[in-house]
Structure 1
Amino acid sequence: MRILLAGFQHETNTFAASRADDAAFAHGGGFPPFSTGEAVRAAMGPAVNLPAAGFLAAAAAAGDSVTPILWCAACPSGFVARATYERIATAIVAGVRDGLAADPPAEALYLDLHGAMVAEHVPDGEGELLARIRAVTGPEFPIVVSLDLHGNISARFLELADAATAFRTYPHVDMAETGRRAHALLAARVARGAPFPRAWTRAPYMTPICWQSTDAEPARGLYARLATLEAAAGSGAAASVTMGFPAADIADCGALTWAYGATQAEADALAAALHGAVVAAEAEFTGPLHDAAGAVTEALRLNAAGHRPVVIADAQDNPGAGGSSDTTGLLRALVAAGAPDAILGLLHDPAAAAAAHAAGPGAVLRLALGGRAGLPGDMPFETEVTVEAVSDGRLRTSGPYFGVLDMDVGLAACLRIGGVRIAVASNIVQMADMEMFRFLGLEPVTSDIVVVKSAIHFRAHFAPVAAEVLTAVAPGAMMMRATDWAWKALPGWMRLMPGGPTADEARTAAE
């Protein structure tokens, strides 16, 4: 096949004040920087865990010819800036137009998207992009898409794409595998000569991301059920469940199941069975949450009983969900408790990193760390620190989430306050790989307490060595309880939490 490829990824937290602009997509937020043409292929090496990398590997094995248009991603944040969305979407549409006009012309398009993109002027970023592409290709041109497990997928999108497949793991260790699955779907779509019959249903509740891990119930059983139902439905069937990204005040926020089949009846039955499994799992999406002081107290108690390392997820300041990665709630709690051996990262503070570089290792500085995002309950932490190490911020990841990826977190430093060491960086990147500590001389495996600014993705690399994992709710932009936000666009019937109030009930209670 002669296939066009484009990637445009962003997970949008509409409650966050930040914006994803040209610079954010140029950097990549921990993933490869903005790339065009053959540079896309170079960025998607065989050990990179991204859908486009898996798709390219599968296409090469099949002898297909793939022409990359562009690929880009930005760290999750608030809205994608209007000018940035228009520039990237326009470039993708132009690349598709050029591919159709080539000799010989392209025969299909693969899109590596997220599913939860919201621009300042477009609430359905992926649906709008597909509509613009369809205006160029017409309805018959094969288009297949890979999506994140956290996509907020619209009916418009599913009607415009010939097929879409989403991640089935969280942490997302199967991103490359999803790209390979997308290639198989595209081959089946081309062989079929027509789009698949399809069906979809939205779940009636939203789930906090901290309880969506597919390494634990109920998500583990839910995705196992997906695989079983899909296999039983026959060779022409394919299905997906997206948990949704519960920080987007849009009409399409929430979990969705969809299915394709050889017949409409097959697609309907598969989608209905999956939806039933999602509804049945509602009450199980829960677990213990600790405030900052409580999390540190519990970690120290576990340490005293011989359990180490204890990993604390600073889940509400997760930059992988729009957090600023600079709140100081857990840092203050560690220092106040006199934690004798703790590490925390990555704290986004370019000024502190620059000051540490200027002073050098061994210097003692008075700094105001973090706390500059203006979030409720948070402020800079003014304290004396010792500079233990500095780095240019370039490292290579090794864990299952990022895969083997060259990463640039900007000027970085290890700062010490008593027994607490802080990995400070100049770029915002989710802490999801142990190398993001080790490049500054910090070793998570031998530390008593490890605080990570992440909600779930860190588990892929950290959980196998952790004696215990705790989830904390300190200040941040990504609430673990959707009832902590005020909702405007969410459908009134949607329950904000498993077993919780609907959006209409919450709005009435707030009046």
Structure 2
Amino acid sequence: MSQPRTAVALPVIAIAGLGIESSTFSPARTGAAAFHPSRGAEVLERYPFLAPGAPLRTAADWRGALVGKSLPGGMVTAAAFAELSGELLDRLAALPRLDGLWYDIHGAMTVEGIDDAEALLLARIRETVGPDVIVSTSMDLHGNVSRELAHRSDLITCYRLAPHEDHMETKERAARNLVDLLVSGAPRPLKAWIPVPVLLAGEQTSTRIEPARSVYAAVHEVEAVDGVTDAAIWVGYAWADEPRNRAAVVVTGSSRAAVTAGAERLAGAFWDSRRAFAFVAPTGSLDGCLDDALASGARPYFVSDTGDNPTAGGAGDVTWGLQRVLARPEFQDPAGPTVIYASVPGPEAVATAVRAGVGATVTVTAGAEVDDTHAGPLTMTGTVHAIKHGDRDAGTEVVLRIGSVYAIVTKLRKPYHHEHDFTDLSLDPRGADLVIVKIGYLEPELFDMAADWKLALTPGGVDQDLPRLGHRRIRRPMFPYDAAMPDPDLTARLIAPSDEPLTGDDE
């Protein structure tokens, strides 16, 4: 069994991790460059709470190894994973003896030929740094927690809000819990893990509305119990097809009774609420949403083109939605309702528009270079309204005015979450009639801006109609795929400490 650790005055803690949501239903593939990895001292610059002089910074000797985060996308190539994980492990091996490691990941990374990539990487990390190192794992609530990942982690937590307005707070909590444990010299905590056979999209489990608001509010109550260090509920990631994809609960702490009771309370509440989870906004077909928007007096009216959402793992270049918009007679006259559409990638189209310059009329073809499952490349003739270079994600952005539609075309795919994403392109989203964004639930700035909003259930690699996607490898029975399934066993499984062998299967 684990023995109490000797408290250290200034623990040495490394930071490492790779993060991405990977849709296995998108034909896209993600390479190493998409992770924009930080190395060494620059890793610490990612976290405001580790700024020089900050209390948490001075509480430990922090050592950056490698942290890389990619926009959600398709599966990570085997070569990219080998390159990034190999460098990460080499950098860890070059560090002095560690007391702790903060494993900063997302939890929904799928790698070609590998199941449960984050657990595999953590196993390799432990082989590198040794079994005595205490690991604190921070995750997105749309990640997946297998029994193996819970076992390899000593502390584990995730976001408690969707949209993730608490993402930095969560990372700080994971780092602080790790420092507190190391400084106290306490034994490795107990971990109560419960897999919950529910797999729902994030747009159906937003904490903005019930029942997720109340289900997640209980996390704070469980965490406040004596003997509990942290509590977490993972919704899981719906757009990948692996056995680990499902909801899960983990409660960590020093009291067996407290972590067990807390985990069973949270898992039971999530399961009991399964039929009440609903989309965070009214839904409809794209044409139906456009009809409703045109009939409404609310301005600006936002429509989410959900099936190709690049922040959920969509390829971002599905042209189906933009084709439908441009075909509408209401938008073919420049004097028609003002529509902003964000966005579709088209590197050659962007290059043509840049050569022509603002004010020129161009005919270009964009989209469907990666995902042509639902529609082919789209040819458009329009006036170049704006050009912007140097975006971190898009590289170069171009706005084409086609009738009354302002279509954003990018060199590389980009999510549009902030007002400045539009105003930087000489667009006025607040003054538009319709703003159509490849997104699921609206991020906070857009949510505050929208006078009204609907989710269009459109096709793509992150289709909101989950049964339509055709999962074949998830564990069954699973709600909602097996809606009449019996109640599952939601008894807490106490996971062995990370320095002890793990036996049994991932149930």
TM category (shorter chain) comes to 0.7 to 0.9
Go from structure 1 to structure 2 and tell me whether the alpha carbon gap of 1:138 and 1:39 turns closer, same or farther (over 3 Å shift).
Answer: closer
* Distance (whole Å) between structure 2 residues aligned to residue 17 and residue 57 of structure 1: 45
Q: 1:22 to 1:459 in 2, by over 3 A?
A: closer
Once the two structures are superposed, residues 401-441 of structure 1 have per-residue CA deviations (whole angstroms, 9 ceiling, x without a partner) of xxxxxx34211111011111012111222222222111111
CA contact under 8 A between 2:393 and 2:414: conserved in structure 1? Answer: no
Q: Which runs of 5+ in 2 are unaligned?
A: 1-10, 332-336, 487-507
Correspondence 1:328 to 2:319: yes
Counterpart contact for 1:342–1:449, Cα < 8 Å:
yes
Aligned to 1:195: 188
Question: Displacement of 1:58 after TM fit?
Answer: 6.1
Partner of 2:294: helix, strand, or coil? Answer: helix
Determine the structure 1 residue equivalent to 2:423.
438
Does structure 1 residue 363 correspond to structure 2 residue 360? Answer: yes
The alpha-carbon deviation at position 123 of structure 1 amounts to 0.9
Deviations 1:356-415 (A, max 9, x none): 101111111122232333443312222311111111143xxxxxxxxxxxx342111110
Aligned to 1:411, what secondary structure does the other structure show?
strand
User: Is the 2:343–2:409 contact (alpha carbons within 8 Å) kept by the matching residues of 1?
Assistant: yes
Question: Does the 8 A contact of 1:56 with 1:66 survive in 2?
Answer: no
Match of 2:20 in 1: 10
1:93-172 aligned at under 5 Å gives the runs 93-99=89-95, 102=96, 105-172=97-164
Which residue matches 1:270? 262
Q: Greater helix percent: which structure?
A: 1
Contact 1:54/1:178 (<8 A) preserved: no
> 1:447: how far off?
1.2
CA distance in 2, matches of 1:300, 1:223: 36
1:487 and 2:475 are equivalent in the alignment: no
Cα offsets for 1:174-210 (capped at 9, x unmatched)? 1110111002210232124321111111122211222
Over the matched positions of the two proteins, sequence identity in percent amounts to 29
Q: Aligned partners of 2:213, 2:33: CA distance in 1, in Å?
A: 37
TM-score (norm 1): 0.87
**Cα distance in structure 1, aligned partners of 2:485 and 2:317:** 31
Inter-CA distance 187–322: structure 2 relative to 1 (3 Å threshold): same
Equivalent residue for 2:295, pick from 292, 298, 301: 301
For residue 311 of structure 2, give the secondary structure of its aligned residue in structure 1: helix
Structure 1: distance between partners of 2:431 and 2:123: 52
Paired position in structure 2 for 1:505: none
2:411 paired with 1:415: no
Hey, what's the Cα distance between the residues in 1 that align with 2:192 and 2:164?
25
Specify the code of the residue in structure 2 equivalent to 1:226: V
Aligned CA distance change for structure 1 residues 12 and 496 (closer, same or farther; 3 Å):
farther
Q: Which residue identity is paired with 1:492?
A: R
Task: Indicate the residue corresponding to 1:476 in structure 2.
Answer: 460
After superposition, the C-alpha distances for 1:208-264 in whole angstroms (9 at most, x for unaligned) are 222222112222121112112222x22633100111110111111011111012222
Give the number of equivalent residue pairs. Answer: 467
State TM-score, norm by structure 2: 0.87
Are 1:209 and 2:196 matched, yes or no? no
Greater Cα shift, 222-231 or 310-319: 222-231
Cα distance in 1 for partners of 2:208, 2:481 equals: 21
CA contact (8 A) 1:423 1:437 kept: no
CA contact (8 A) 1:391 1:413 kept: yes
1:63 aligns with 2:59: yes
CA contact (8 A) 1:163 1:196 kept: yes
| Residue 228, structure 1, aligned to residue 221, structure 2 | yes
Give the Cα–Cα distance (whole angstroms) in 1 for the partners of residues 168 and 313 of structure 2: 23
Code of the aligned partner of 1:176? M
